[in-house]
Amino acid sequence: MVASSKRKRRVKKRKDMRKEDGTIKAKRKFDTIAENLDVMQDIGKRKRFSPEDLANIKPLNETQKRFIELYFQDIPIIMATGWPGTSKSFLSIYCALNEVFDNSSPYDKLIIVRSAVETRSVGYLKGSLEDKAEPFELPYKAIFSEIMPRFNDAYYHAKNLGYVDFMLTTHIRGINIKNSVILIEEAQNMDIDELRSVITRTGEESRILITGDVLQDDLKRKKEKSGLEQLKRILLRMPREYYACVEYSKNDIVRSGIVKEFVIADFEENNRVY
């Protein structure tokens, strides 16, 4: 009877692992095949990261400096908004990893949250939930590679060692996020209900970083309304010690000279203003 029960569970598990075409999904496992021998041995030996694994990043302007200073004041909610190419996401991830990799910090994990926007309901996309989220994770693979240049696949290692999770807003309700830094990315592409859903998931010993650019609002094409401006107004009603806002200007664009001059010219051509 016991053997029969075990056999049924194994059959059920294999069915759960099947793709839509009937083939069995390959089970993901932690490996270091993309790394050189020294790195492979190092990661395999300790199976953890520390702040020393991060590049020594210095602020490139006063706005970046202010963001970093505010972050390490442990303010519960920090919103970074403004012009594209100003390293809003990059600095947020860098600061968060400094704490997540630190054993003395209360934060065990960085959770990156985005809205799927154009595929808001991702159910029709093929594959598992992980497969559906993967296209939205691509920017973070590049950011992690720059922040952790010693590793060829830093984002993959951080995820598989439990330091990082990636979530879409369509699958965040009903959970309680404790001991984490929650990074809400591209907040201008979330309506106010999505933003509420994420923020109200915040449990004990967690804090929130929010990045956004009101002029890169993809919801307009769907005739929906971004909740970012309303969220700003809500934060202003909270006790001052609970939040801080950092606004990046055109002078803070650091991605490249081409990007800076193009973005400024584009804004002037289309009479766009923040």
β-bridge partners, 166 = 112
Q: What are the CA-CA distances from residue 215 to residues 119, 248, 254, 260 (Å)? A: 20, 13, 18, 15
The whole-angstrom separation of Cα 250 and Cα 216 is 14
Which tokens sit at 38?
Answer: 């020294």
Q: pLDDT by residue (tens digit) across 43-54?
A: 666 678 999 999
pLDDT at residue number 263? 93
Residue 147 or residue 118, greater confidence: 147
Query: 70 with 246: CB under 8 angstroms?
Result: yes
Which tokens sit at 123?
Answer: 């159910």
Tell me which residue of 34, 57, 41, 32 sits closest to 161, measured CA to CA.
32
Q: How confident is the model at residue 6 (pLDDT cuts 50, 70, 90)?
A: very low
Which tokens sit at 57?
Answer: 């990043």
pLDDT at residue number 30? 54
The whole-angstrom separation of Cα 105 and Cα 30 is 25
pLDDT at residue number 134? 84
Helix axes 192-199, 228-236, angle to 10 degrees: 50
The pTM assigned to this predicted structure is: 0.81
Residue 101 or residue 40, greater confidence: 101
pLDDT at 152 over 80: yes
Name the residue with tokens 């000279």: 257
pLDDT at 108 over 60: yes
pLDDT at residue number 127? 64
Inter-residue long-range contacts of 35-44, CB under 8 Å, 24+ positions, other chains counted? 35/151, 35/152, 35/153, 36/152, 39/150, 39/151, 39/152, 43/151, 43/157
Q: How confident is the model at residue 31 (pLDDT cuts 50, 70, 90)?
A: low
User: Rounded to an integer, what is the distance from CA 149 to the centroid of its chain?
Assistant: 19
The whole-angstrom separation of Cα 144 and Cα 212 is 19
pLDDT at 64 over 90: yes
Highest mean pLDDT among 39-43, 124-128, 214-218, 228-232: 228-232
Q: What percentage of the chain has pLDDT greater than the value 90?
A: 65
Within a 10 A sphere around the Cβ of 109, how many other Cβ atoms? 18
Residue 86 or residue 10, greater confidence: 86
pLDDT at residue number 204? 95
Q: What is the mean pLDDT of residues 187-205?
A: 94
Residues 6+ away with beta carbon under 8 Å from 274: 82, 83, 214, 215, 247, 249
For the chain, domains (ranges, CATH) are 46-269 (3.40.50.300)
How high does pLDDT run on average in the chain? 84
